[in-house]
Amino acid sequence: MAMHELQRDYSTKDLQFISIDKQGTILTTDQQLFELKENSSIKNYHPFFEGIDTYFLEKSDHIKLECVHLNDRIFDIDFIKNDDDTAVIIFREGTDFYNRVQLIAQKRNESIIFQETLELKNQILKEQEEFKNRFIGNFSHELRNPLTLVSSFSSMLLKTELNLDQEMLVEAIKDQSDKLRDILNDIIDLSILKNSSLSLESEPFSLRKLLKNVHLNYSTTSTTKDLSIKLKIDETVPMTIIGDRRRFEQIITNFLDNALRHNKGDSIEINIKENQRRANKVSLRIEVINNSGIVPDSLGDQDIETYTNLDNGDIEKTTGLSFSIARELAQLMDGEILIKPLETGGTLQVANLKLVFPIHDKEIVEETEETAKNSKIHLTDKVRTIIAEDNSVTQMTALKILVGTGNFDNRVFTDPKDLLEAVDKDDYDLILMSSSISQVDALELISLIKEFANDHNKKIPIIAVTTKTSATDLVEYRKAGFKDVVKKPYTDDELLNTIYKRLNLKKFK
């Protein structure tokens, strides 16, 4: 076959030419693609043609319609208007081509919709997670007041004359409520960490002193009296670290708590090594090894689930909580946490943490807090104290603790108006203020006091007693003029320590 014939053949094989008049009557047509009768109306063949009239009205003489489905076939259609009110319609069959296009579009659209659905689900999960954390946070805060009372009253009770039976009972109460307090703090920490609203402090602290303190604390508690806890710090490890001392300590104590909980042997080792350092950054390896007893690993995110499920609220199930906290904290410190069973039947817990140290590294001298023996303090003049608190449980807790020392003369205020009146009329020596009183925020209230109090009262220490104790909260409280912050739940000694520290005790002796 000659070349031009081939071309003709090819180019017309899938084309059909139809000419119509303005009413849609078929004037001439070939039958390449489908059969059409001349002199019949094209509108009868398919709804597509029913609107064909309007193409005669369009400005353009040439209208192209691509990918039009007519029955089970797909066509590109050209509508070409002539001067004599007739038109030529050219059909090009594209069924095979467009079916391939359809397959591609099918894949693409399905995957886009799938992706969208995933994102949506993810978002719902995230919202649920946030709700859960908020819920845990709120509910833990609610628990603090009653717990403060139980914990501090049992501590006070222990300081009185009790017979042996009573003492044992009260000790058990105190022991368990302290435990509960720790768990509560863990939960709050974790919900803060999961909300990632926690930022780390950056202060220099002595690494060795911190480790020795932790070691001492753990070596001298009753639960560890048959246990040898060894602390080994590599020589090369920096003296001073710049970072968040409390959070750093928390990782180690969480490890130790974990180790103690599952320990079956007679020794626990704490090893601090240096992985590497560059400039002023150091990667430290913190190991806690118990030579016998498996600490459950694979503590995924289900920990908090088991925890919030109060139906099986078995305290021993909380193992994972401290580990979860340690893991979150380590992540905040650009580090990681590993937990490995040892061949000896024990467990190795490791934290690799990236930390900063000062270029001129030397031991820093830290202020050692001189905690006065609270029970030995007797003041001749009573400290005239305002307790601004509208929660009756907390009122009673604070009152009992203060009254028990014999050093305080207390007045309780639950209404901000009365409080403002009082600080104007009478002289006081101390104000303890909860985070809000009858809906008025402590920050607002203190600014009112600074404004409306008499000159004497403007100078007395005001201490916040609050559940809001994040670093940013503390800064705000200080800025607003609070001398100190006592964190709820507190023990009697914690409350008294802070008060005595902030009072000029000589004045009352």
Q: List interacting residues with another protein (CB under 8 A).
A: 46-48, 50-51, 54-55, 57-58, 63-70, 74, 98, 101-102, 105-106, 109-110, 112-113, 116, 120
Q: How far is the CB of 497 from another protein (least distance, A)?
A: 53
Q: How far is the CB of 71 from another protein (least distance, A)?
A: 10
Q: From 16, 14, 13, 15, select the one nearest 30 (Cα to Cα).
A: 16
| Contact (Cβ atoms closer than 8 angstroms) between residue 374 and residue 405 | yes
Whichever of 95 and 271 has its CB closer to another protein, that residue is 95
Q: From 296, 294, 275, select the one nearest 284 (Cα to Cα).
A: 275
Q: How far is the CB of 107 from another protein (least distance, A)?
A: 9
Measured over the CA atoms of residue 216, residue 220, residue 221 and residue 224, the dihedral's sign is: positive
Q: How far is the CB of 131 from another protein (least distance, A)?
A: 17
Q: How far is the CB of 22 from another protein (least distance, A)?
A: 14
Question: Helices 442-452 and 416-425, interaxial angle, to 10°?
Answer: 30
| Contact (Cβ atoms closer than 8 angstroms) between residue 503 and residue 383 | yes
Whichever of 74 and 136 has its CB closer to another protein, that residue is 74
Whichever of 66 and 266 has its CB closer to another protein, that residue is 66
Whichever of 41 and 391 has its CB closer to another protein, that residue is 41
Residue 22 and residue 362: Cα distance in Å, rounded?
98
Residue 424 and residue 419: Cα distance in Å, rounded?
9
Q: How far is the CB of 35 from another protein (least distance, A)?
A: 20
Q: How far is the CB of 133 from another protein (least distance, A)?
A: 24
Give DSSP secondary structure letters for 311-369: GG--GGGGHHHHHHHHHHHHHHTT-EEEEEE-TTS-EEEEEEEEEE--SS--PPPPPPP
Whichever of 94 and 335 has its CB closer to another protein, that residue is 94
Whichever of 109 and 197 has its CB closer to another protein, that residue is 109
Half-sphere exposure (Cβ direction) of 22: Cα atoms closer than 13 Å: 7
Residue 405 and residue 159: Cα distance in Å, rounded?
11
Q: How far is the CB of 46 from another protein (least distance, A)?
A: 7
The three-point CA angle 44-45-50 to 5° equals: 60
Whichever of 36 and 63 has its CB closer to another protein, that residue is 63
* Residue type at position 200: L
| Contact (Cβ atoms closer than 8 angstroms) between residue 422 and residue 386 | yes
Whichever of 30 and 66 has its CB closer to another protein, that residue is 66
